[in-house]
Amino acid sequence: MEIKKDLFSPLKAWKYAFKTPVSFPMEDIKDRPRESQDNARGFHINDLSKCIGCGACAEICPTEAIVMVKRKDLEEKEGEHPERPTMDYGRCCFCAMCVDICTSGSLKMSKAYVLNTPDPQKLYVMPEESFPAPGGDILGYDKTPESDLLDLKRAEMPAVAGAQAKKSFVEILKGYSMEQARAEAARCIGCEICVKTCPANMHIPEYIDAVWQGDLAEGLAQMYKTNPLPGICGSICTHKCETVCAIGKRGEPVAIRWLKRYIVDNAPEAMYEEVLMAPVSKPGQGRVAVVGGGAAGLSASYYLRTMGYQVDLYEAKPLVGGVARYGVPAYRLPDERLNKDVELLEKIGVKFLVNTKVGQDITLDALHDQYDAVFLASGLPQSRALKLENGDHPDVRYAMPFLAAARDYQRGAGEMPDVAEKAVVIGGGNVAFDVARTILRLQQKKYGHSHVSLVSLETRDILPADLEEIEEGEAEGLRCHCGFGPQGIELFQGKIRGLNTVKCLSVFDEKRNFCPVFDPEQKGMIEGSQVYVAVGQMNEHTYFTPEHLERIALKGGKVQVDDWGQVKGAPWLFAGGDIVHGPDMIHGIADGHKAARGIDVYLQSRSETA
Amino acid sequence: MSEVKLFFGPQHPGMHGNASVHLYVEGDTVKKARLVPGMLHRGFEKSMENHTWMGNVALIPRVCVAEPDINEMVFAQGVEAIAEIDIPERAHYIRMIIMEMTRILAHMMSLGAISSPTGLYTVNHWMQADRNDMMDIFEEITGHRVYHMYIVPGGVRRELPPGIEKRILDYFTEFERRIPEYQALVFENPTILARLKDNILLPAEVVWELGVTGIGMRSAVGKPYDVRKVTPYARYDQVEFEVPVATYSDAYTRSIFKVIEIKESIRIIRQAFDMMPGGKVNVKMAAGNALKWTVPKGQTYSAVESARGEFGYYIVSDGKTQPYRIAVRGASFPQGFLGVERYMPGVRLDDAPLWYDTMGVCTPEIDR
Ligand code: SF4
Ligand code: SF4
Ligand code: SF4
């Protein structure tokens, strides 16, 4: 290699002595540091009102620099923890993984990079909207869709398509495969925000983690700790947990309910039995009567039995299950799924006394005499009536008896209900959709085509029914007329021609009280020769005698109980489920669990004082 | 004359990183050299087993401070090989640009390090000032100047910021203008040449004996062994570049090779920008959120060409959220560990730092 050597060459560097230096004086670094580049990963900033305290940032931090600190000024709210992240800048390596995973999107980084202090305590900072250092109010790094460390999209659930679905009562959702379930479970960050909102406080992150680990037995055990009816719940729970799920802040919430169903569907029978039997004690002294075989009654029976009580469950109908058996259509909850939950209860020794209506076949007082305690969970078997012109016409039907008849027909225990070729359903809740979609299927069977209109006061965006009900219903050809009030029933030659409606302008007043406002000018008629009313359910406490009612408080028809389900004025009597909290399956399950513990405490204390 | 024991590092202007070499000197000549590791040891390899696959992205760049991205690249490539992930085409080109930029940064650092043993600090000041501008570019792309944490399993962490292509190309146009100035300052400078030329030789036998790769090997044995050429990764098989070789490896050759390689790297970067397609920059490495990412059971050896030679990770996964084992093949391990003990003896005391620098040693990749 040819090498040039020249003593004067290096002197060319002298020209730089006359140029502005690229470096800058030391004194400036602390107070007037050079501004970082865009995207700089400087000290954190966090919008504390948007942050939900989920702790995902702390979980991912590779240097364990984040501690979740409880804020006394924040109250316990649904959908968030009253904690906020605090960074230890003695540890933080500014990798920004916390930013990339932040569920709420509140955590970002500023351009500040100078924190100069002799006091190590000052290195602990709970970032707020601006960081107290130069550049701390300028946004540096924020996540982009590519850098997101969450998985915002749900694993797809295989389902029967709408046109096909309405031809039968076959269950629409097919359930996850193992790969799908594991992929879905891997979306959960284990923050427990959902647990607070679930009425039964189910151990959600634990059983989701069990799915992810492929440990079905652990998943089942976790579920049975708080919910003995996972089969039912896995299909039709109102999944309040999902509405608050942290992943739902920016994406689709974790499919908690479907994962529950996955465990139930896939755990082998023997494993099921083993897990379920594990906590069951031998029958002891106490005897408890449970009135009503719905979710609350079944749940109470399970926990009472595990605690060692003898349990007799009284059910008015031929089969236990309540709404799950006689209300919810089979395409949402097939009998087999329900049977599985119920059979296991029988196996652990709960005695079912069916076709026995308390208040008619046996009195409440008789139960009081024969048992140490009574749990009342008789549900809301009656449909709420609607005052309408010609509302007493025989072709005006009510939701609850219709759904029960349809369900009986599906299991071969009754005639097909006589649905007309064109029908109108009034109501906007899940029950109304159950009615409408059941009619669709029956029409399809009977006539080969279907025509059902659904009329609701609420507009589509505020319909109380679940979105999936609405979407599936529409896919099946349901005609939704949202935002109309029923006026009266139009008759022609003694037969129903249709439902007269007026436009509903608003449903609630400013205080969110039910107070519909109509525009009488905007009238219409929706055709149909049958009208089904599905505007709510009512209880039926025929078992309360006037003497009972002197002592027992009812408020708006609801039985008043304490935190443990104990009825005020009758210590031997506990109540729960729909008669206490209104219609909601998971609330019923939670009530059953609570009442079981309440009864246990009551009977223990009684035997101690005796 | 009696032997004197001297400490070269961990605190020493001529030392690269926190290594310590005990020098036993007689007169001006080093008689014995002992590397004393552990000055920097943070148990990187063990630590990797305790971090999630993504969490490791924050840890591994530290295995070579001057050239951190090679760690991200071997790690990402290895994970992708085990998990059989195909990454988007665009990501390959972005990775190549990042890898060449970091090579240039590393070469500038070691060229700058000629300054302290030769007494011409201007070289280092210039090099650091030029590195500074490139680190600013890195900060804009990745968020940080030194530890970029940008190349991740599945691609790169985020899209390039708008306008960065111009900023990078402008930078290199200016840098190329400066190369003759460096040339004049260093390689035409008789004082420096006197220290580099025919000094600190690396004979071919030593290359074979120790397993030296990179510039050391190429300058000594005349073979273009370069991982980018022999087992091309990213899209190195799509771009044109030369690998300089020689059969006489003195400190001068090894230094001037760095300048040549910088020019070739710039060539690669220009081509990469021309050829880079649009589209996505990453795919998720596994289902779910990063806390739950797993890599299927398997093992692989993944290697890249670093500024000092072949740099590799041997990665073993047992299917969990964290690696089962990662072993690092530090590119400078052969010369930086055994080489120091066997072949530093014999040099003059004032050449010891030059030996360390021009042999290409990055301490943390030895002391990992
Ligand atoms: S930037 Fe990285 S190290 Fe710092 S708090 Fe966030 S996750 Fe932890
Ligand atoms: S991940 Fe985001 S929302 Fe969750 S605690 Fe951290 S900063 Fe708050
Ligand atoms: S399901 Fe959602 S809310 Fe519940 S622990 Fe998982 S991420 Fe958190």
What does the pLDDT average to over B331-339?
A: 90
Atom of ligand 2 lying closest to residue A66 CA: 6
CA dist., res. A142 & res. A152, Å (int): 17
Cβ(B251)–Cβ(B200) below 8 Å: yes
Q: Report the residue of chain B nearest A153, measured CA to CA.
A: B288
CA dist., res. A436 & res. A397, Å (int): 12
Q: Does A2 touch chain B (CB under 8 A)?
A: no
CA dist., res. A569 & res. A548, Å (int): 9
Residues 6 or more apart whose CB falls under 8 angstroms from that of A149 comprise A60, A97, A100, A101, B54, B289, B290
> What are the start-end ranges of the E strands in A184-330?
287-291, 310-314
Most B CBs within 10 Å, among A150, A151, A187, to test the B interface: A151
Query: Based on C-alpha coordinates, what's the Rg of chain A?
Result: 31
Q: Choose the closest CB to B140 out of A39, A59, A185.
A: A39
Classified as helix, coil or strand, B43 is coil
> How does residue A216 score in pLDDT terms, banded at 50, 70 and 90?
very high
Residues 6 or more apart whose CB falls under 8 angstroms from that of A415 comprise A405, A409
Q: Please tell me the distance between residue A590's alpha carbon and the centre of ligand 3 in angstroms.
A: 19
Region of A72 (left: φ > 0; alpha: ψ -120 to 50; beta: rest) is: alpha
* In chain B, where the domains are located: 4-366
Q: Does B52 touch chain A (CB under 8 A)?
A: yes
Report chain B's terminal Cα–Cα distance, integer Å: 38
* Whole-number pLDDT of residue A506: 87
Q: Is the pLDDT of residue B325 over 60?
A: yes
Q: Rounded to the nearest 10 degrees, how much is the dihedral formed by the CA atoms of A25, A29, A31, A34?
A: 100
Cβ(B262)–Cβ(B171) below 8 Å: no
The verdict on domain A287-380+539-610 having CATH code 3.40.605.10 is no
Residues 6 or more apart whose CB falls under 8 angstroms from that of A178 comprise A214, A266
The closest of A41, A33, A146 to B144, measured between CA atoms, is: A41
Beta strand pairing call for A514-527 and A382-383:
unpaired
CA dist., res. B88 & res. A276, Å (int): 48
Cβ(A305)–Cβ(A600) below 8 Å: no
Residues of A in Cβ contact (< 8 Å) with B188: 4-6, 9-10
* Whole-number pLDDT of residue B1: 62
Q: Does B291 touch chain A (CB under 8 A)?
A: yes
A30-141 and A287-380+539-610 share one fold: no
Cβ(A46)–Cβ(A53) below 8 Å: no
Site residues for ligand 1, CB cut-off 6 Å: A 61, 63, 65-66, 87, 92-98
Type of residue at B212: V
The closest of B144, B9, B135, B146 to B67, measured between CA atoms, is: B146
If you take atom 7 of ligand 2, which residue's CA is the nearest one? Answer: A107
Q: Which of A242, A250, A256, A260 to mutate to test the pocket of ligand 3 (most atoms within 8 A of CB)?
A: A256
Cβ(A319)–Cβ(A354) below 8 Å: yes
**Cβ contact (<8 Å) for A95 and B136?**
no
Atom of ligand 3 lying closest to residue A187 CA: 7
Task: Report the number of secondary-structure helices (H) and strands (E) in chain B.
Answer: 16, 8
Cα→Cα distances A293→A144, A299, A301, A466, B111, Å: 52, 9, 9, 25, 83
CATH H-level superfamily of A382-537: FAD/NAD(P)-binding domain (3.50.50.60)
Q: Report the residue of chain A nearest B246, measured CA to CA.
A: A1
**Tokens linked to A128:** 């707020």
CA dist., res. A193 & res. A288, Å (int): 35
If you take atom 2 of ligand 2, which residue's CA is the nearest one? Answer: A102
Report chain A's terminal Cα–Cα distance, integer Å: 109
CA dist., res. A160 & res. A190, Å (int): 31
**Tokens linked to B200:** 């600190």
Q: What one-character DSSP code corresponds to residue B122?
A: H
> How does residue A1 score in pLDDT terms, banded at 50, 70 and 90?
low
Least reliable range by pLDDT among A46-60, A236-250, A275-289, B316-330:
A275-289
Q: How many CB pairs under 8 A join A and B?
A: 137
What does the pLDDT average to over A181-186?
A: 96
Residues of A in Cβ contact (< 8 Å) with B198: none
If you take atom 8 of ligand 2, which residue's CA is the nearest one? Answer: A51
For A154-278, which CATH class? mainly alpha
Report the interhelical angle of A178-185 vs A204-213 (nearest 10°). Answer: 130
Atom of ligand 3 lying closest to residue A244 CA: 3
**For residue A2, how many C-alpha atoms fall within 13 Å in the half-sphere facing its CB?**
1
CA dist., res. A353 & res. A496, Å (int): 42
Touching B: A residues 8-47, CB under 8 Å = 9-10, 12-13, 22-23, 36-41
- Site of tokens 């203008």: B177
Q: Does B58 touch chain A (CB under 8 A)?
A: yes
Q: Is the pLDDT of residue A460 over 60?
A: yes
CA dist., res. B196 & res. B194, Å (int): 6
Cβ(B21)–Cβ(B8) below 8 Å: yes
- Site of tokens 């749990």: A375
Cβ(B54)–Cβ(B152) below 8 Å: yes
For B4-366, which CATH class? mainly alpha
What does the pLDDT average to over A368-397?
A: 89
The closest of A461, A462, A410 to A434, measured between CA atoms, is: A410
**Tokens linked to A237:** 């729970």
Q: Which of A59, A74, A107 to mutate to test the pocket of ligand 2 (most atoms within 8 A of CB)?
A: A107
**Cβ contact (<8 Å) for A97 and B129?**
no
> How does residue B364 score in pLDDT terms, banded at 50, 70 and 90?
confident
CA dist., res. A409 & res. A349, Å (int): 30
Task: Report the number of secondary-structure helices (H) and strands (E) in chain A.
Answer: 22, 22
Task: Give, for B197, the enclosing helix (H) or strand (E).
Answer: none
If you take atom 7 of ligand 3, which residue's CA is the nearest one? Answer: A188
The percent of residues above 70 in pLDDT, for chain B, comes to 100
Q: Is the pLDDT of residue B60 over 60?
A: yes
CA dist., res. B264 & res. A553, Å (int): 89
The percent of residues above 70 in pLDDT, for chain A, comes to 99
Q: Please tell me the distance between residue A356's alpha carbon and the centre of ligand 3 in angstroms.
A: 42
Cβ(A295)–Cβ(A585) below 8 Å: yes
Q: Report the DSSP beta bridge partners of residue B312.
A: B303, B329
Q: Choose the closest CB to B291 out of A40, A60, A147.
A: A60
What does residue A449 show for φ and ψ, rounded to 5 degrees?
-150, 170
If you take atom 8 of ligand 1, which residue's CA is the nearest one? Answer: A61
> How does residue A168 score in pLDDT terms, banded at 50, 70 and 90?
confident
ipTM field:
0.93
* Whole-number pLDDT of residue A348: 87
Residues of A in Cβ contact (< 8 Å) with B146: none
pTM (predicted TM-score): 0.85
* In chain A, where the domains are located: 30-141, 154-278, 287-380+539-610, 382-537
Residues of A in Cβ contact (< 8 Å) with B58: 62-63, 93, 95, 97
Region of B343 (left: φ > 0; alpha: ψ -120 to 50; beta: rest) is: alpha
Touching B: A residues 188-227, CB under 8 Å = 188-190, 212
- pLDDT tens per residue across span A77-111: 899 999 999 999 999 999 999 999 999 999 999 99
> How does residue A250 score in pLDDT terms, banded at 50, 70 and 90?
very high
If you take atom 6 of ligand 1, which residue's CA is the nearest one? Answer: A98
What does the pLDDT average to over A63-89?
A: 94
Residues 6 or more apart whose CB falls under 8 angstroms from that of A73 comprise none
Q: CA angle at residue A189 from A186 to A192, to 5 degrees?
A: 125
Cβ(A370)–Cβ(A289) below 8 Å: yes
- pLDDT tens per residue across span B255-294: 999 999 999 999 999 999 999 999 999 999 999 999 999 9
What does the pLDDT average to over B233-251?
A: 96
The verdict on domain A30-141 having CATH code 3.90.700.10 is no
The closest of B90, B187, B171 to B131, measured between CA atoms, is: B171
**Cβ contact (<8 Å) for B157 and A10?**
no
DSSP codes joined into one string, A225-293: TT-S-HHHHHHH---HHHHH-GGGGTSPPP-HHHHHHHHHHHS-HHHHHHHHHTTPPPP-S-EEEEE--
CA dist., res. B317 & res. B294, Å (int): 9
How far off is chain B from A182, nearest CA to CA, in Å? 8
If you take atom 3 of ligand 1, which residue's CA is the nearest one? Answer: A92
Atom of ligand 2 lying closest to residue A81 CA: 5
Residues of A in Cβ contact (< 8 Å) with B122: 13
Cβ(B184)–Cβ(A9) below 8 Å: yes
> How does residue B150 score in pLDDT terms, banded at 50, 70 and 90?
very high
Beta strand pairing call for A83-88 and A66-70:
antiparallel
Q: Is the pLDDT of residue A2 over 70?
A: no
* Whole-number pLDDT of residue A200: 86
Cβ(A399)–Cβ(A532) below 8 Å: yes
- pLDDT tens per residue across span B155-200: 999 999 999 999 999 999 999 999 999 988 899 999 899 999 999 9
* Whole-number pLDDT of residue A605: 85
* Whole-number pLDDT of residue A584: 85
Beta strand pairing call for A351-353 and A310-314:
parallel
Beta strand pairing call for B29-36 and B20-26:
antiparallel
Query: Based on C-alpha coordinates, what's the Rg of chain B?
Result: 20
**Tokens linked to A553:** 């408080």
How far off is chain B from A200, nearest CA to CA, in Å? 26
CA dist., res. A279 & res. B50, Å (int): 36
Q: Which of A265-269, A543-547, A581-585, B233-237 has the highest mean pLDDT?
A: B233-237
Cβ(B327)–Cβ(B333) below 8 Å: no
Beta strand pairing call for A423-426 and A452-456:
parallel
CA dist., res. B159 & res. A336, Å (int): 51
**Tokens linked to B66:** 């001057």
Touching B: A residues 167-186, CB under 8 Å = 182-183, 185-186
Q: Is the pLDDT of residue A335 over 90?
A: no
Type of residue at A470: I
Q: Is the pLDDT of residue A609 over 70?
A: no
**In A297-312, which positions are buried (b, 16+ CB within 10 angstroms) versus exposed (e)?**
bbbbbbbbbbbebbbb
Q: Please tell me the distance between residue B44's alpha carbon and the centre of ligand 3 in angstroms.
A: 33
Q: Please tell me the distance between residue A466's alpha carbon and the centre of ligand 3 in angstroms.
A: 20
Mean pLDDT, all residues of chain B: 93
DSSP codes joined into one string, A532-550: EE-S-EE---TT--HHHHH
Q: Please tell me the distance between residue A77's alpha carbon and the centre of ligand 1 in angstroms.
A: 27
**Tokens linked to A157:** 């659930």
Classified as helix, coil or strand, A258 is helix
Q: Is the pLDDT of residue B111 over 70?
A: yes
Region of A192 (left: φ > 0; alpha: ψ -120 to 50; beta: rest) is: left
Q: Choose the closest CB to B290 out of A9, A12, A149.
A: A149
What does residue A386 show for φ and ψ, rounded to 5 degrees?
-125, 125
